[in-house]
Amino acid sequence: MEVPVWIEAIGYSSDTANLSKREDYLGLVSSLKAARTAYKVAGIEPKDVDVASVHDCFTIAEIMAYEDLGFCRKGKGASMIREGETEVGGRIPVNIDGGLKAKGHPIGTTGISMLAELTKQLREEVKPHRRQAQMKNYTALAHNTGGIGHYSYVSILRR
């Protein structure tokens, strides 16, 4: 029998599509709010996440996601990558499967691909083994954004 993986929470939020109506150009309010809701419903904090898949439609989107999801303070996203914190063995492995950019960001299917990857991660069935993130809490996070970042969904998965 397959090991079940559960959807603990899904947080979602939307913001204005009009860039000139946004207060902050350096992050996505929809991601921030979606994440807060997801963490609250799941009863966890960012540090409890073992592995994450974030919406890296563009490089900067991944960096902003680290900050919006609470993995680091605002402005520290790039340092996280430089210091290896988002690699397997790092503080919070992110996009171990290469993310959206590695698969050409097929719109819509990337969300499902994230859930498939995170399910494998939670079941500790990732091959090759070097791509398997260490499980402490058996908790994973999927982050998806649509449009021009004006709507976001954050899902917390648990085994």
Partner 1 sequence: MDKPLSLKSNRTLHITYNLPINRTSKFWVGLKEGKIYVTKCEKCGRIHFPPVADCGDCGSSNMKWVELDGEGEIETFTQVIVKPPSFSKEPSYIVAIARLKEGVKALAWLTGVKREDVRLGMKVKLVAKVTSDGRVAYEFVPLQQTKVKINDW
- Nearest distance from C-beta of residue 121 to partner 1, angstroms: 30
21 or 136: whose CB is closer to partner 1? 21
Q: SS3 sequence, 108-131?
A: CHHHHHHHHHHHHHHCCCCCCHHH
Angle at which helices 29-42 and 59-68 pack, to 10 degrees? 50
- Nearest distance from C-beta of residue 24 to partner 1, angstroms: 11
- Nearest distance from C-beta of residue 113 to partner 1, angstroms: 20
14 or 88: whose CB is closer to partner 1? 14
As given in the structure block, the two tokens for residue 6 are 């559960």
25 or 130: whose CB is closer to partner 1? 25
Distance of alpha carbon 44 from alpha carbon 82, whole angstroms: 26
Which residues contact partner 1 (rule: CB under 8 A)? Answer: 18-21, 25
